[in-house]
Amino acid sequence: MPSITSFRARACLFSLVFATGLVQAQVTPAAPSAPARVPMKSFFGGSSFSGAVLSPNAKYLAVKTAPKGGRVGLYVIDLLTDQGNLVAQFNDTDIATVHWVSDERLMFNTSNRKLGVGDVVDGPGLFAVNRDGKMLRQLAEFGGARDTGTTAKQDRNLLPYHTFMLAQRGAQNSEYVYVGSPVPGFDSARLVNLLRLDTLTGHTTQVKRPPDVQGWLLDNKGEPRVAIGVKDAVTNVYYRETADGDWVKINTTNTFGVKGYSFMPLAFGPDNTLYVKTNHGGADKEGVYFYDYKTGKMGDQPLIETAGYDFSGELITNEDKVLGMQFATDAETTMWFDSKMKAVQEKVDGLLKSTINLVSTSARPETPWMMVKSYSDIQPPIYSLYNSDTGALRKVGESHPDINPAQMGHQQQVSYKARDGMDIPALLTLPKGRDKNLPLVVLIHGGPYVRGSPWGWQPESQFLASRGYAVLEPSYRGTTGFGAKHFKAGWKQWGLAMQDDMADGVKWAVDQGIVNGNRVCIAGASYGGYATLMGLVKHPDVYKCGVNWVGVSDITLLSKGDWTFKSDMGSAWRDYGMPDMIGDVVKDAEQLKATSPLVQYKKITRPLLMAYGGSDRRVPAYHGDKLMALLKPINPDVEMIVYPEEGHGWALPKNRYDFYGRMEKFLDKHIGQP
């Protein structure tokens, strides 16, 4: 249960946040005497800065930052005077997500960065506070704990701990917001009520909802206009014309894409036009279309198509117009429709020539300040303020301030042919200054039915590259973002064609002369951990070792779980998604045995490092325990570590340091430099 500290500490935050002054136009090279190995903490230690967001009128900047070893606090800076307030900070937890409710008021929740998921007993809570630190109010409880000492006498009819902020911007023009509140008694795919919340009084009004709703979409004025309901394997989309109108079903699709048709509301424009993401007309790739919810008709042509890729991004609007779209192809980019924003983008790109620069603006700006996120393959994200009147850039914070770009290796998008002729996109990161006869780590993304890491600086790939390894990250069949054909080619192909795609990537890299074929290791988490295990089962001639963390060891075990454990995957996915996309545990039993590392364990003869979270509800540690018990008597080169407080990944720096330290030593031993 957090306890609150002083909120009235005034400070000139110019020295705290803006100390670096103008951002360099290009990355400054380091001195040539760079150390051979960048410290691990530079990759996995994080930053005192953890985010910033402009107010709706762009006069104020909310910044999350922490003193060294301290808790993340919330500061608000007046951009005209550079004076700021510490408006919220706790002694025993950290400020997490922050939204502006209006130009005068903010809302936030908390997250304890010093606890793994297994040690978390409270919910994130919900608070609102004025930008000067006054009128702080707790709105939702911490898992039953009600007294936080935020006010001496306030109404204690708090919302339940599972109340959460919506990701959407909202109206931002009053003390009211909309929040979600899942209905108790359901699994992870539970129903979600929508509440209109007064952040000054804490009073709420529930929005009338259609059945089975799990998601909501607000229009450009911040009012709920679309509800998305999921029942079993069917997704229904509902629309209502007015705040007191009836919900009308406007579309129905299969939740898991079995019918081959996709339809997902994306955003509303200021004129109430609804934009949707769909593969209209049976197209292989998803694009963005106008949708007439009154007639049920789609626009004849897509507003935007991204050649070779499904659309993945968002609409950029202010109160008056659609300004552009931000989306990802081989890298992130912005297409501006607004001529002023197009000119701003050109000026920012002229100042920052060596990075991708994503510009964002406020809903109704009254100042020329805009936020800019800048990054490249060798530069971790830097966040800056840009003044469109003066052309000045002021650095706000960095995600990894200890990283020197001059010590990083470049990354490129490549493509190779799988053995059946399918094109497999991939990312290739090389150690700085080296591109021949390298040891290789094939790094497999999780999911698997998601898109992998985008082009840009990533801690894992750059950490490995800094240790002298080439890193290949294949977007094997089944990966999303490359069209329906690429996606569906991965259905029921765990351990089969998906696995071959990875081995074929190694062959390509060897044929290019980039990689030494005798020094290759496969690694990954979750599904990537499964692929690591199956790589050692199926292709021991390709991989000399494997690193699996939080990886599936048996598909049937993933589906049925264990009597001591409740999965967080949701019953709809297990009952309807897994049978079609991965395999039916009854009808496909023989295939699942043939592609089960747990069943095929005797074929794992190569060195293997495994790690699991003791509190993982997605892939519990018993996936590793069962496999370890079988391998230990027959393979002396297998080791496993369990982090009791961790979930499906490593939240705590100490565990990240331990795991990647083990991984470094393991790779050095088996495929590292002689």
Tens-digit pLDDT profile for residues 313-339: 999 998 889 999 999 999 999 999 999
Confirm if 33 and 407 have CB atoms less than 8 A apart: no
Higher pLDDT, 630 or 191: 630
For residue 117, the model assigns a pLDDT of 84
The full 3-state SS of 441-472, as one line of letters, equals EEEECCCCCCCCCCCCCCHHHHHHHHCCCEEE
Token duo for residue 107? 């809302």
Residues 64 and 49: beta-carbon distance below 8 Å: yes
Q: How far lies 299's CA from each of 282, 290, 612, in Å? A: 14, 5, 48
Confidence of residue 30 (pLDDT cuts 50, 70, 90): very low
Q: Mean pLDDT, to the nearest integer, of 87-95?
A: 93
CB 83, CB 97: distance < 8 Å: no
Whether residue 597 is preceded by a cis peptide bond, meaning omega within 30 degrees of 0, is no
Question: Taking the domains of the chain in order of start, what are their residue ranges?
Answer: 408-670
User: 432 near 409, Cβ under 8 Å?
Assistant: yes
φ and ψ at residue 339, rounded to 5 degrees: -65, -35
What stretches of 318-447 adopt beta strand conformation (E)? Answer: 322-328, 332-336, 356-360, 369-375, 382-387, 393-398, 411-417, 423-429, 438-444
* C-alpha to C-alpha distance for 323 and 394, rounded to whole angstroms: 24
Instruction: Return the CA Rg of the chain.
Output: 25
Domain 408-670 fold is Rossmann fold (3.40.50)
pLDDT band at 543; cut points 50, 70, 90: very high
The closest of 631, 641, 636, 633 to 609, measured between CA atoms, is 641
227 three-state secondary structure: strand
CB atoms within 10 A of CB 435: 14
With beta carbons less than 8 A apart as the criterion, state whether 550 and 612 touch: yes
- For residue 19, the one-letter residue type is A
Among 64-73, 114-123, 518-527, 625-634, the minimum mean pLDDT is found in 114-123
By the 8 A CB rule, do 181 and 195 touch? Answer: yes
Q: How far is CA 453 from the centre of its chain?
A: 9
Tokens of 375: 């990054």
At residue 103, does pLDDT exceed 90?
Answer: yes
Exposure string for 526-548, b = 16+ CB within 10 A, e = fewer: bbbbbbbbbbbbbbeebbbbbbb
How far separated are the first and last CA of the chain, in Å rounded? 52
Q: Is the pLDDT of residue 281 over 90?
A: no
- Alpha-carbon 138 to chain mean position: 28
CB contact at 8 A, 112 and 95 = no
Q: What percent of the chain has pLDDT over 90?
A: 74
Looking at residue 233, its amino acid is A
Q: Please determine, for residue 126, whether its predicted confidence score (pLDDT) is greater than 70.
A: yes
Alpha carbon 627 to its chain's center: 30
Please give the biggest Cα pair distance in the chain. 72
Nearest to 162 by CA among 200, 197, 126: 126
Give pLDDT tens digits for 488-531.
999 999 999 999 999 999 999 999 999 999 999 999 999 999 99
In 302-441, alpha helices (H) = 339-351
Higher pLDDT, 255 or 337: 337
- Of the chain, the percentage scoring pLDDT greater than 70 comes to 90
Structure tokens at 47: 């930053």
Determine the Cα–Cα distance for residues 122 and 644; give it in Å rounded to an integer: 18
| Res. 566 pLDDT band, cuts 50 70 90 | low
Structure confidence at residue 20 as a pLDDT band (50, 70, 90): very low
Q: What is the mean pLDDT of residues 651-666?
A: 96
Question: What local confidence, expressed as pLDDT, does residue 187 receive?
Answer: 52
- The model's pLDDT over 446-457, given as tens digits with 9 standing for 90+, comes to 999 999 988 999
Three-state SS sequence of 471-503: EEEECCCCCCCCCHHHHHCCCCCCCCHHHHHHH
pLDDT for the residue numbered 243: 82
For 281, counting Cβ atoms within 10 Å of its Cβ (0-12 exposed, 13-18 middle, 19+ buried), the class is exposed
The predicted structure's pLDDT at residue 644: 95
Q: What is the pLDDT of residues 38-72, one digit of tens each?
A: 999 999 997 899 999 999 999 999 999 998 878 99
Task: Output the DSSP codes for 544-580.
Answer: SEEEEES--S-HHHHHH--TT---SS-HHIIIIIHHH
Alpha-carbon distance of 550 to 648, in angstroms, equals 6
Least reliable range by pLDDT among 288-297, 319-328, 569-578: 569-578
Of the given ranges (104-108, 210-214, 600-604), which has the lowest mean pLDDT?
A: 210-214
With contact defined as beta carbons under 8 Å apart, do 2 and 83 qualify?
no
pLDDT at 145 exceeding the cut of 50:
no
**242 and 207 Cβ atoms separated by less than 8 Å:** no
Burial class for 645, CB neighbours closer than 10 Å (0-12, 13-18, 19+): middle
pLDDT digits (tens, 9 = 90+) for 183-206: 875 454 568 999 999 999 999 999
What does the pLDDT look like over 526-536, one tens digit per residue? 999 999 999 99
Residue 307 has pLDDT above 90, yes or no: no
Residue 567 backbone class (left: φ over 0; alpha: ψ -120 to 50; beta: rest): beta
Q: What is the mean pLDDT of residues 612-616?
A: 94
Q: How many CB atoms lie within 10 A of CB 666?
A: 21
CB atoms within 10 A of CB 294: 10
Task: Quote the distance between the C-alpha of residue 226 and its chain's center.
Answer: 24
Structure tokens at 277: 């993401």
Write phi, then psi, for 663 (nearest 5 degrees): -60, -40
Length of the chain: 674
Mean pLDDT of 246-266: 85
How many other β-carbons are positioned within 10 Å of the β-carbon of residue 552? 25
Whole-angstrom distance, CA of residue 90 vs CA of residue 105: 19
Q: What does the block give as tokens for 237?
A: 């989309």
128 pLDDT tier (thresholds 50, 70, 90) = very high
